[in-house]
Amino acid sequence: MSPARPVSSRTGRARLGLAGALATAAIGALWAVPALAQVGDGGATGLSVFAAVVLGLVEGLTEYLPVSSTGHLLVANEVLGLGGTEAADTALDAYAICIQAGAILAVLVLYRSRIAQMVDGLLGRSAEGRTVLIAVVAAFVPTAIIGLALRDVVRERLFGVGPIAAAWLIGGLAILVLVRTGALDRVGVELHRITLLQAIVIGLGQAIALWPGVSRSLVTIVVAVLAGLSLAAAVEFSFLLGLVTLTAATALTAMSDGELLLDTFGLVTPVVGLVVAFAAAIVSVRWMVSWLQSRGLGAFGFYRIAIGVAAFAAIGTGSL
């Protein structure tokens, strides 16, 4: 294990400043957003255009960041005062999953060269593409099996602000420990050298993110690095695995709850959310890749702790 890199006071202040700014914005939203949530169509159990835009932004900005899009969306629903009936809550859950299609499209656009290479691998024209394709499928299988087996248990016991806040805190502390010990500084292999065993281990790790608030992106990146991939390879593999995982979840939800979604919210607001999520995900992915190359995961650890504390404070004051 390589030694931990020293963190200068200036770097530490920058990380704390970023985390503080993001957390402050999130805390302010706990009180400012509900008053705006009724702008446009919707109502208490419907979905206004404003709310659709907010949820699209939350989904797109957080889907690939190591902060948990599901956790942020569930808290956003509470802040916006959405739902209230069993049917509306189910429709909201379906909406949150289906607008992931925007984030999926973002990865398809940004990583189109790699995806084309994987298609060539499927057709026998690229050995590197075949290796990556097999790895993505191998990583997806254990997640799919575990996810289907525990879907109802997770929904019944972990879909709440309290469990999400706890996951934010635990994940934030884990990031800071890993950064401090230098566990993520090891030199790993590039993506075209990923092994089947490494892929399966990453897939098993991804299943941990069934707990809302953990973050699929965080778990897959960390596990991939610990399994022997370089940070750049881990980030790209996380995006590619997310492409398959999110597509499967979106398709499954569309088949099971798509009719309820359209009956409850119509067509306009889901399309608005999807388009906004696509644009936000493009920005988020590009920013994240640039940020991780130069500054690492530390700031996300501080942010997760800050937003976790903010969520618990909101629960304590009755705001959530």
Query: pLDDT tens digits, residue range 125-175?
Result: 999 999 999 999 999 999 999 988 888 888 777 788 899 999 999 999 999
Answer whether 169's CB lies under 8 Å from 311's CB. no
Cα dist from 22 to 25, 133, 154, whole Å: 5, 36, 28
Establish if 38 belongs to a structural domain.
no
Establish if 29 belongs to a structural domain.
no
Answer whether 307's CB lies under 8 Å from 30's CB. no
Distance of CA 94 to the CA centre of its chain: 16
Structure confidence at residue 23 (pLDDT): 52
Structure tokens at 23: 């957390």
Establish if 159 belongs to a structural domain.
yes
Instruction: Read off the amino acid at residue 220.
Output: T
The stretch 238-249 carries a mean pLDDT of: 94
Question: pTM to 2 decimals?
Answer: 0.83
Establish if 10 belongs to a structural domain.
no
Q: Quickly count: other Cβ atoms within 10 Å of residue 267's Cβ.
A: 9
Tell me the angle at which helices 298-317 and 9-32 cross, rounded to the nearest 10 degrees: 30
Domains of the chain: total: 1
Cα 225 from Cα 220, distance rounded (Å): 8
The stretch 285-305 carries a mean pLDDT of: 91
| pLDDT tens per residue, range 32-86 | 444 444 444 444 346 889 999 999 999 999 999 999 998 899 888 888 888 778 8
Answer whether 61's CB lies under 8 Å from 283's CB. yes
Answer whether 99's CB lies under 8 Å from 273's CB. yes
Burial environment of residue 278 by CB neighbours within 10 A (0 to 12, 13 to 18, 19 or more): buried
Cα 28 from Cα 25, distance rounded (Å): 5
- Of the candidates 297, 14, 288, which has an alpha carbon nearest to the alpha carbon of residue 181? 297
189: helix, strand or coil? strand
Backbone φ and ψ of 318, nearest 5°: 85, 10
Establish if 17 belongs to a structural domain.
no
Structure confidence at residue 31 (pLDDT): 41
Tell me which residue range forms the domain holding 299: 51-80+100-317
Structure confidence at residue 185 (pLDDT): 86
Establish if 31 belongs to a structural domain.
no
Establish if 123 belongs to a structural domain.
yes
Establish if 225 belongs to a structural domain.
yes
The stretch 244-253 carries a mean pLDDT of: 91
Q: What angle do CA 256, 102, 109 make, to 5 degrees?
A: 130
Instruction: Read off the amino acid at residue 93.
Output: D
Cα 20 from Cα 8, distance rounded (Å): 18
